Amino acid sequence: MSRKLSDIIHCSGIAFGTSGARGLVKDFSPTVCSAFTQSFLQTMARRYSFSAVAIGIDNRPSSPVMAQHCAAMAQAMGLAVHYYGVLPTPALALQAAKEQIPAIMITGSHIPFDRNGIKFYRPDGEISKADEQSILSCADTLLHTMPSTLTADGKAAHAYLQRYREICPVNCLKGKHIGIYEHSSAGRDLYHQLLTELGAKVTRLERTDHFVPIDTEAVSEADQQKARKWATTYRFDAIFSTDGDGDRPLIADENGNWLRGDTVGLLTAKALKIQALAVPINANSAIDLCGNFTEVQRTRIGSPYVIEGMQLLQRQYASVAGFEANGGFLLASDIKVNSHELSALPTRDALLPFIAIMLLAEGKPLSALSRELPQRFTASERIQNVPAELSQKLLAIAASQPELILQQLGMTDTTTQDIDQTDGVRLTLNNGHILHFRASGNAPELRIYSEADTDITAKHLAHLGTKIKLN
């Protein structure tokens, strides 16, 4: 019996979040993977001319099989499949842009192990929210597919490394000792190769055969302790890691302190001499206070919204970028770095921030770069296994009765100065601190963001937010 693509997708339990379609591994059946792929490629065919699709995966054990089902559908539609195996998402996006073809990345990024996802790329970059709606609403019937065998091509990984070889002076990292927290990151071998080529002494840390869901936006206490211990043991100049698919960086200074993602983005934009920035509402206000940028535009959380903001800024400025509080950095404009052109890559990339910050530091320790910024500190926490309807109920109360929320948290002497509902509910308090509640777009979680004038206060405020009553 023929089935409509929209019906298959609607009944799958898979939904678009802030970055791609995400859901439980058990729900990504062959039929569901095929339906998403067919609907995506038909959506692309309405606007672009192409004869192939690029496909890549992360190191989740469920990713290779999902890729096979996506590839089989592409072949059933008469397209060639350029399969690049395990590699960082930005490497796949870069290669697809060069070839001017769509791309499909099988990755769940940082979400829990029992989940996975699919990221979709147009020939000119990430899909938009309008594209997502077209994918969800396609009424065509599902095509029949045949099993597909895939052999990985290393071309995309090589091009990704070459992108950074070209902008880096010879031996620019000579004398530096860098630790790579490899875990199951899709780019772990590429990072070791590049940093070694640039002259650094590289120590590889905690490579795993099982998948580890690293969240760069809410670094676990265990990972914070690891970094401090590694810094003491090895006397690193820096530690570098990423999330599962290599689009968000995790960077620690010489003391083993992980830099917040929005601090990473600010320093990267400063190093690249960016004129205008698009950043989400939860990014550190030091971005506005530092005076390095002509314009800072605030958006909803999620790379599609940051991309929309960058597109608007490109009408006025020659160099535009965007980043998120999770550290994902997006370059919207072609720019010059060390007299070499660095082409635009308007999708999150973990490697560019690390390279840019190391070049910016020159002889300084990374901690000094952070101290030079306006001293505003952010923190984040999450409450897991919170159903969406419960999160929405809490957000409605926070927006209409913010003082009730503060009372529940024991903040009886604090009042609300401003309420921003750009994304979730962001409360600016009368003492200048910020407490922000938001339902995750990727998992059944309630995200809590905070900002204050000291690191300790920001962390305390974020942790306090986890005590909110959820019933």
Q: Note the pLDDT of residue 2.
A: 74
- CB count within 10 Å of CB 467 equals 11
Q: Note the pLDDT of residue 102.
A: 98
Pairwise CA distance, residues 137 & 40, whole Å: 10
Of 6, 21, 12, 7, which is closest to residue 441 (Cα–Cα)? 21
Contact present, 306 and 324 (Cβ < 8 Å): yes
- 291: which strand partners? none
The token duo for 112 is 């829990």
Helix (H), strand (E) counts: the chain: 16, 23
Q: Note the pLDDT of residue 235.
A: 97
Active site members: 109
Q: Note the pLDDT of residue 212.
A: 84
For domain 5-157, give the fold.
Alpha-D-Glucose-1,6-Bisphosphate; Chain A, domain 3 (3.40.120)
Domains 5-157 and 377-465 share a fold: no
- Cα-Cα-Cα-Cα dihedral of 119, 82, 69, 103, to 10°? 20
Backbone angles phi, psi at 429, to 5 degrees: -90, 165
Helix (H) or strand (E) run with residue 132 in it: helix 129-137
Contact present, 53 and 103 (Cβ < 8 Å): yes
CATH for the stretch 377-465 = 3.30.310.50
Q: What angle do CA 273, 278, 282 make, to 5 degrees?
A: 115
Q: What is the pLDDT along the chain (471 residues), one digit of tens a residue?
A: 578 999 999 999 999 987 789 999 999 999 999 999 999 999 999 999 999 999 999 999 999 999 999 999 999 999 999 999 999 999 999 999 999 999 999 998 887 889 999 999 999 999 988 999 999 999 999 999 998 899 999 999 999 999 999 999 999 999 999 999 999 999 999 999 999 999 999 999 999 988 888 888 778 889 999 999 999 999 999 999 999 999 999 999 999 999 988 899 999 999 999 999 999 999 999 999 999 999 999 999 888 899 999 999 999 999 999 998 888 899 999 999 999 999 999 999 999 999 999 999 988 999 999 999 999 988 889 899 999 899 999 999 999 999 999 999 999 899 999 999 999 999 999 999 999 999 987 678 999 999 999 989 999 999 999 999 887
Q: Note the pLDDT of residue 1.
A: 57
For domain 166-371, give the fold.
Alpha-D-Glucose-1,6-Bisphosphate; Chain A, domain 3 (3.40.120)
Q: Counting Cβ atoms within 10 Å, is residue 385 exposed (0-12), middle (13-18) or buried (19+)?
A: exposed
Given phi > 0 = left and psi -120 to 50 = alpha, else beta, which region is 106? beta
Contact present, 440 and 16 (Cβ < 8 Å): no
Q: Report H helices in 177-283.
A: 188-197, 221-234, 261-271
Q: At what angle do helices 155-165 and 89-99 cross, to 10 degrees?
A: 100
Q: Note the pLDDT of residue 217.
A: 74
Domain coordinates of the chain in residue numbers? 5-157, 166-371, 377-465
Map tokens 């995400």 to a residue.
22
The token duo for 444 is 């059944």
Pairwise CA distance, residues 464 & 31, whole Å: 44
Q: Note the pLDDT of residue 443.
A: 75
Pairwise CA distance, residues 300 & 462, whole Å: 20
Q: Is 78 helix (H, G, I), strand (E, B) or coil?
A: coil
Q: Note the pLDDT of residue 214.
A: 82
pTM of the model: 0.88
